[in-house]
Structure 1
Amino acid sequence: MRLEPGRWLILADDLTGAADCAIAFARRGLEAMVAWHDAAGGAGARPGALAIDADSRRLPPTAAAARHATLLRPHLSGGARPALIKKIDSTLRGQPAAELAGSLALLRDAGQPRLALVAPAFPATGRTTENGCVRLWGVPLEATPLWARDHSYNSADLLAVLGSAGLKAWTLPLGQMRGGAAALAEALRAAQAGGLDAVVCDATEAADLEALARASLPLADSVLWVGSGGIAAALAAALPETPAASPALPRRHGGALVVVGSVAEASRAAAEALAATGAPRFTLPAALLRAGEAHPRWAVLRQEIAAALGAGRDTLVEIAADPAAELNRGAALAEALAMLLAPAVGGMGGLFATGGETACALLRRLGVHGIRLLDEVEPGVPLGLTLGALHLPVMTKAGAFGDGTTILRSLERLRQRTGTAS
């Protein structure tokens, strides 16, 4: 078996993560797309970078691992194989250890063993790894509101996290990460020779991930990169740039629909900033979404949202933050929100969605089976064009990424790209 030059497969546990990683390759001139896990086989010709949203973050460990193995298996046959990235949440939500363990076992069984290079750091968004532990803006992840709200493990110590799934690993501290490409490559080969399943790579700066990318790319047929948009950007930047024309975005005359389904503080702050501009704002209680069409306000809200978009006004729709709500009901609320908003598509000039479950549920409801990625409006906010019956400009953002003006800046970039800037 040989590595297929220029082809990358990214397996992600949610939509925003899939897009975060694939956009890095689009910026280097490779055709990049995101496909849903149950439609990936119908994506047609293989793009340079294919990111598959496994939609596994809320699954239990065994089911999450099985889904990732199912998605990986078809790509292991034939005379060539892609370079592999396992995209995990940079704050360790979901089941990254079980998913990785399942994928490594499948690779071994297929006669293609790989060493996992675990590098979840994304310094541009405040995520770093020090002494094998995840930190957020310099604070131990366990001491942050993100961890308090949603975590899968007892700690953010990556050796312990990997060990919980039976994986043998050691840490490459910053001193080794910064010791030069030759020494770093030798450390990776030593890990392979030592029979390890994974190495945890410390990184506090983008340069650390860039050094890892340069040292590990020659080993691409025997390693599996595990991380977030940070390592994807470093790997893509180390590749030769391929000139490619970016297709023009369609000019649509309605307002942009901004959907905030995340309870993360960064997303709520950005929503407040948009509302402060006078944009129509619709805050939907979870009880209304659970009631669905039986709720007396349902039909009225549909009409009001459609009217605002049709009048060309950027319109904010958000699920009311409810700290007492069960997180495992997020998928059901996102699906109900998609049902409410679907009739407004005719007056929509674009879509900005934050929160992977929310974005995926809405796009599915609109008949979209994937996204062709075109640009990155800022770190962690890719811009693409939907695939399927609807050709709609769409931007996605992980809930905890960005700051209070992320949505405003992203909408301005959308208007510039579509020629509708005032």
Structure 2
Amino acid sequence: MPRWLILADDLTGAADCAVAFARRGHAAAVTWAENGGEADEAVLAIDADSRRLIARDAADRHAALLRPRLRPGLALYKKIDSTLRGQPAAELAATLTTLEECRPPALAVVAPAFPDTGRTTEGGRIRLNGAPLEDSPLWAREHSYANADLYAVLEGVGLPTALLPLAALRGGPEAVAAAMRHALSARCRALVCDSATTSDLETIARARGLLEFEPVWVGSGGLAAALASAEQPGQDPPLPRLPAARGGLLLVVGSLAEASRAAADHALAQGGLRHFGIPPALLHAGPVGWNVMAREIAAAIAAREDVLAMIEAEPGADLRQGAPLALALAELLQPAASQAGGLFATGGETARALLSRLGVQSIRLLEEVAPGVPFGLTRGARRLPVVTKAGGFGDTEIIRHVRHRLHAWLQEETAA
């Protein structure tokens, strides 16, 4: 049974939290199986696939996933998006209520900052690369709340909330632990922690060892990495070798975020990739419309070419169509993916849909290619090397780094 349970609203977020523990030698996996998906890993992350749901449905899904897995001694991490996409407040409220069915009232320690990707929290408000999140293209394209004030967001779903400002946090782990105890005794259900650096998150994580209770930890990949670093290293057993690779790499960009489009454009400019731009209209047309392209992509993969397949951006794109487009894209790419030597997918919906189409429901996580960009092997009959990445961050070199790591891994396996 897992020692840590991570609940996330999408696949890439689940993976980039769990991989932090894998990097410290703890066996970690991510699953999106509705039932089962359990294994002997010390850390299990579950993708609730709730990013696009309304608040009530997202909350119900989290409660349903958590309830059968509750047991004494389990540490719980609620992964939320570092830019507040989806329904993190409703999901957290449901998580706390469900947890309290078998435990005393719980305190959520909320620290969504991920400084390595430009996300910080100051005065209880999220900032992106130093500017208010509300001023960013990410917020303009997709947001669930009136603003990025975490205190207001959590109070808005009935969670009494306290704030730990940056100056108090920098008093050290003892001061942070004291603030957590005070918030719990004051009947707060959430403590929002400012964090502007990785060191700030590490201070929060070190406070855990000073507590007499286990909070619910709430954050993105940044806080998960800090908590993992505060634990003793594990001894993850070696995995079986992979079968010989059959085809080229399939690199899929299903996200419309600016960072993902810029990385794809940069990778294409460097050369060495076969590019397939896929118009949304083609995906809406169904197999009759896309069969020719599907065969072309599969043939390129079979010929050991590395392929970059990308949904083409359209002005005024309707983000509500994200899930149907991801499912259609997965169907189009299935013949190619079934022959690929390795897979990279940007966007949680894209990664989940494509892997599910291959009959995969979980990934054993091994390492990070870059902060928030986990590398792992699919579990099951076929062990495929996979890299996933959230759409909203990453520099322009990330696809080059991913290609290099996947090719290096496959060469190591062949030589072993």
**Against the structure 1 CA distance between its residues 141 and 272, is the aligned structure 2 distance closer, same or farther, given a 3 Å change threshold?**
same
Tell me the residue number matched to 2:277.
283
Tell me the residue number matched to 2:95.
103
Measured against aligned partners, the alpha-carbon deviations of 1:40-70 in whole angstroms (never above 9, x if no partner) come to x242x34100000000000000000000011
Measured against aligned partners, the alpha-carbon deviations of 1:175-206 in whole angstroms (never above 9, x if no partner) come to 11110221211111111111001010000000
Say if 1:280 and 1:315, in contact at 8 Å, map to a contact too: yes
**Against the structure 1 CA distance between its residues 115 and 289, is the aligned structure 2 distance closer, same or farther, given a 3 Å change threshold?**
same
Q: Which runs of 5+ in 1 are unaligned?
A: none
Q: Give the aligned residue type for 1:18.
A: A
- 1:417 deviates by 1.7
Tell me the residue number matched to 1:76.
70
For structure 1, which segment, 266-275 or 358-367, has the greater mean C-alpha deviation from structure 2 after superposition? 266-275
CA distance in 2, matches of 1:22, 1:220: 25
- 1:220 deviates by 7.7
1:127 to 119, 137, 142: 119
CA distance in 2, matches of 1:369, 1:419: 26
CA distance in 2, matches of 1:320, 1:219: 50
Measured against aligned partners, the alpha-carbon deviations of 1:7-37 in whole angstroms (never above 9, x if no partner) come to 1000000000000000011111111000115
- Note the 1:392-411 alignment, pairs <5 A: 392-411=384-403
Say if 1:367 and 1:390, in contact at 8 Å, map to a contact too: no
Say if 1:251 and 1:419, in contact at 8 Å, map to a contact too: no
- 1:250 deviates by 4.5
CA distance in 1, matches of 2:363, 2:339: 20
Measured against aligned partners, the alpha-carbon deviations of 1:295-340 in whole angstroms (never above 9, x if no partner) come to 1xx1211111011111111101011112422111100000001111
CA distance in 2, matches of 1:220, 1:32: 26
Aligned-residue Cα RMSD (Å) equals: 1.7
**Against the structure 1 CA distance between its residues 155 and 81, is the aligned structure 2 distance closer, same or farther, given a 3 Å change threshold?**
same
CA distance in 1, matches of 2:37, 2:404: 33
- 1:230 deviates by 0.2
In the alignment, structure 1 residue 18 sits paired with structure 2 residue 14: yes
CA distance in 1, matches of 2:218, 2:341: 35
CA distance in 2, matches of 1:301, 1:59: 31
TM-score, normalised relative to structure 1: 0.94
In the alignment, structure 1 residue 259 sits paired with structure 2 residue 252: yes
2:58 to 55, 64, 71: 64
1:27 to 7, 23, 26: 23
Measured against aligned partners, the alpha-carbon deviations of 1:103-124 in whole angstroms (never above 9, x if no partner) come to 1111223233210000000001
2:110 to 95, 100, 118: 118
Q: Give the aligned residue type for 1:386.
A: T
Tell me the residue number matched to 1:390.
382
Q: Give the aligned residue type for 2:161.
A: A
For structure 1, which segment, 314-323 or 126-135, has the greater mean C-alpha deviation from structure 2 after superposition? 314-323
In the alignment, structure 1 residue 8 sits paired with structure 2 residue 4: yes
1:192 to 184, 188, 197: 184
Say if 1:366 and 1:390, in contact at 8 Å, map to a contact too: no
CA distance in 2, matches of 1:17, 1:334: 17
- 1:217 deviates by 3.9
- 1:350 deviates by 0.4
CA distance in 2, matches of 1:369, 1:217: 34
Taking every aligned residue pair, what percent have the same amino acid on both sides?
Answer: 58
